[in-house]
Every structure is written in C-alpha cells, then in structure tokens.
C-alpha cells in the first residue's frame, strides 16, 4: 500500500451516483403539508408546531418542548434562558459544527473549547474540570455525529460546580445513553431537523426542558418577545402585545412542523435501518487496511447521523475523498475542530484529539434509504482506492 499524494486514476463515475445523505420522505409528508394548506394556518407556533412539540416531549420524557426554525436558534435561546451573560465563559465540546460555538458568541460570551474522547469524539469528562474558571457559567456537550456524550459524568460535574448543562443533541434523535433517550439529559437539550439528520423537515429545531420558566421564555423570545398569534386569536378580549425585552423571529412554520411530525412517527424505523447499515459497514470495512470503523461503547446507542471512518496514516484522507467523489460516491469530513476556526480568535485551546479527528475522519454515505447494493459499492470503491498502487 502506498501513500497517496495524488488523486488515483480510477473508473469514470457511475451514472447512478450515491449521495452522502438523502432525506427519507414521501407521500405521508406531502399529505401532511396538504392538510396544513387546507387549514389556513401556515405560520409558526400553530397546531402542527404544538403536535411536533408534544412528540419530542414524549420521545425525551421531558415536560416541555418548543419548535424553532433551526437548532442554532435553539442553542441561542437555550443559552440566554439559562442566564448566559456577556463576559461569561462556556465550556464547549471542540469537535462539532461551528453553530455550537457561534451560539455562545451570540450571547457575547466566550467559548472555551474542551477536547474529546478518541473513541466517541464527544467531550472528555476528564478534561472538563481543569477548564473551569471563576468565569465559567455552563457546559455545552455534543452528541458528536449522533454518538451520545458521557451524560452521567457531565451531569455530576455540572452539579458539583453549580453550572448549567446544555445538551447539543442536534444529531442524535433516536440515540440512547444508559437506557435513556438522547435529549433527556442536561437542563436543556436541543435537536436539529436539518435535511442531513435522521429525521428532517428541511430546516428546523426543537428545544426540550423540564423547566417551565425556561420553556415559557424560549417560546416568547422566539416570537419577538410576545405570545404567539395563534394563542392570542382565541382570547375573549383584544390582547395588544407589549415588548419589554428584545426577542427574535425563530418560529418554525406549521408547514415544516407537519413534515417533522410525520418524520418523528417514523423515527424507530429509520434508526433501525441505520443501525443495520452501521453493522454492515463495520463488517465489510474490517478487511480494508487503514480504514478504521467507528466503535460504540456498550452503554450507548448511536443515532448514526454520520458514519465517519478514521483514515489511518500514511493514507491521505483528502485524496481518498476526492477519488471517491470522482467515482460518484458522496463523502465529506466528519465535522470541525472548533478551536482551529478563525472566528473564535487565536487557537488557545489544546485539543489534539479533536484536531486529529478533523484531519482523519471521513464520512461515508449514510441514510435510511441506502440500499445494501449501494453500500457494497461504496466499500468496494473505497477498497480499490486504498489498494491502488
């Protein structure tokens, strides 16, 4: 096996490319949208949004849920509702999409990045306490790529130091930690309904919590700081909102909420297929040298939002990715080492594990409708690239 310094010469792309991801949606979602059109209520915070919220509350066994226009908005509103103030420090898992760190900046607070475990790519609890300072206000841990974080130890650390714990479960609807659903941990948890997630409505987010005051504030802040129009229309008087504080327009339309509710009803089916695909990948990749399949600790169940292999040295991850794409196979990096991103200022955090995963992770096609035959083609193509002299 040779080190790959250039894109290998391989067969022309297949006329049937295999994407990195593809939403699983069909007639049931279309019917739900048609029903919303007939209802006349297409705006946010309406009856379909309420139904989606109820579904996520059941999934996580939380007392409250709020549907929002995306997970970044959910992160922002969660941080503000948890009392994050300008000048605070918030510990953030370093291996994540930048939205996690951006939301802290939205509050004029400082994200302090904490390195992750090499096996799960999630925040390493053993490194958290050393990062705590008198300015630390809370912890934002991430279910990286759908893999649940160490919620037991993280909750204990947060409790002991009087910090809030925010669970970024953007990728992990359907995942489990210690027998409990992802999103059931922390003071607040947030989910994404982006098109790449296990369930989707294109764009969307949901926040869940057991704190009634937080839920009330999030719903108000998502609607410019006022009660929703849907709630006000049933009043016996003419309620005229006032605006004592700054709010935002973070509502999820009922059109998208209806799609999300249908998808949520299919979550078990979608997750079951993803687990089968993950198992097949692991079995087939065992024979491909230099390509290391992800592992799952026995106390958790991944949602497999992303299937990211580790490309071992001396193989070059980027060259393999270019070759896969040239063959019609979708692929990408896993996610980002946040401390490396210029938006957060000079790289002052030492996160070698996250940095290595950022350089070595390769995401392969993963979606519920991926066929066995297409998955076989993915691995066969990958193996040819690796073995090519």
**Annotated catalytic sites, by residue?**
197
Other CB atoms closer than 10 Å to residue 203's CB: what's the count? 15
Polymer length in residues for the chain: 389
According to the 3-state scheme, what is the secondary structure of the chain? CCCCCCCCCCCCCCCCCECCCCCCCCHHHHHHHHHHHHHCCCCECCHHHHHHHHHHHHHHCCCEEEEECCHHHHHHHHHHHCCCCCCCEEEEECEECCHHHHHHHHCCCEEEEECECCCCCCECHHHHHHHCCCCEEEEEEECHHHCCCCHHHHHHHHHHHCCEEEEECCCCCCCEECCEECCCCCCEEEEECECCCCCCCECCEEEEECCHHHHHHHHHHCECCCCCHHHHCCCCCCCCCCCCCCCCECECEHHHHHHHHHHHHCHHHHHHHHHHHHHHHHHHHCCCCCEECCCCCCCEECCCCCEEEEECCCCCHHHHHHHHHHCCECCECCCEEHHHCHHHCCCCCCCHHHHHHHHHEEEECCCCCCCHHHHHHHHHHHHHHHHCC
Cis peptide before 375 (omega within 30 of 0): no
Measured at the alpha carbon of residue 377, what is the angle toward residues 387 and 379, in degrees to the nearest 5?
45
What is the rounded distance in angstroms from the CA atom of residue 18 to the CA atom of residue 79?
Answer: 38
Q: Taking the CA of residue 43 as centre, how many other CA atoms within 13 Å lie in the half-sphere pointing to its CB?
A: 8
What is the rounded distance in angstroms from the CA atom of residue 84 to the CA atom of residue 316?
Answer: 41
Say if CB 196 and CB 330 are below 8 A apart. no
């Amino acid at each position: 096996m040779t080190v790959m310094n250039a894109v290998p010469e391989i067969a022309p792309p297949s006329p049937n490319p295999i994407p990195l991801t593809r939403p699983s949606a069909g007639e049931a979602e279309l019917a739900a949208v048609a029903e919303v059109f007939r209802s006349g209520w297409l705006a946010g915070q309406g009856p379909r949004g309420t139904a989606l919220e109820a579904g996520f509350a059941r999934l996580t066994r939380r007392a409250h849920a709020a549907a929002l226009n995306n997970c970044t908005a959910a992160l922002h509103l969660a941080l503000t509702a948890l009392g994050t103030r300008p000048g605070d420090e918030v510990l953030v898992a370093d291996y994540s999409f930048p939205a996690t760190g951006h939301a802290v900046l939205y509050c004029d607070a400082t994200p302090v990045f904490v390195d992750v475990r090499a096996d799960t790519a999630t925040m390493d609890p053993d490194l958290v306490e050393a990062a705590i300072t008198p300015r630390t206000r809370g912890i934002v841990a991430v279910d990286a790529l759908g893999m649940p974080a160490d919620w037991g130890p993280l909750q204990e650390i947060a409790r002991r130091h009087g910090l809030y714990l925010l669970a970024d479960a953007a990728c992990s609807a359907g995942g489990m930690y210690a027998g409990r659903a992802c999103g059931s941990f922390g003071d607040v948890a947030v989910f994404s309904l982006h098109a790449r997630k296990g369930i989707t409505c294109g764009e969307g987010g949901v926040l869940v919590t057991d704190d009634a005051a937080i839920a009330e504030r999030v719903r108000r802040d998502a609607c410019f700081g006022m009660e929703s129009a849907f709630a006000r229309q049933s009043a016996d008087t003419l309620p005229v909102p006032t605006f004592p504080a700054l709010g935002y327009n973070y509502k999820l339309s009922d059109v998208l909420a209806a799609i999300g509710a249908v998808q949520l009803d299919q979550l078990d089916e979608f997750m079951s297929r993803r687990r089968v695909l993950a198992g097949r990948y692991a079995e087939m990749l065992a024979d491909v040298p230099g390509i290391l399949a992800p592992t799952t600790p026995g106390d958790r169940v991944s949602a497999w939002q992303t299937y990211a292999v580790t490309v071992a040295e001396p193989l070059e991850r980027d060259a393999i990715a270019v070759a896969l794409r040239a063959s019609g196979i979708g692929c990408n990096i896993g996610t980002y080492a946040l401390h490396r991103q210029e938006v957060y200022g000079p790289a002052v955090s030492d996160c070698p594990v996250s940095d290595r995963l950022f350089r070595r992770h390769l995401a392969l096609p993963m979606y519920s409708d991926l066929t066995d035959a297409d998955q076989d083609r993915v691995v066969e193509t990958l193996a040819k690239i690796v073995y090519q002299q």
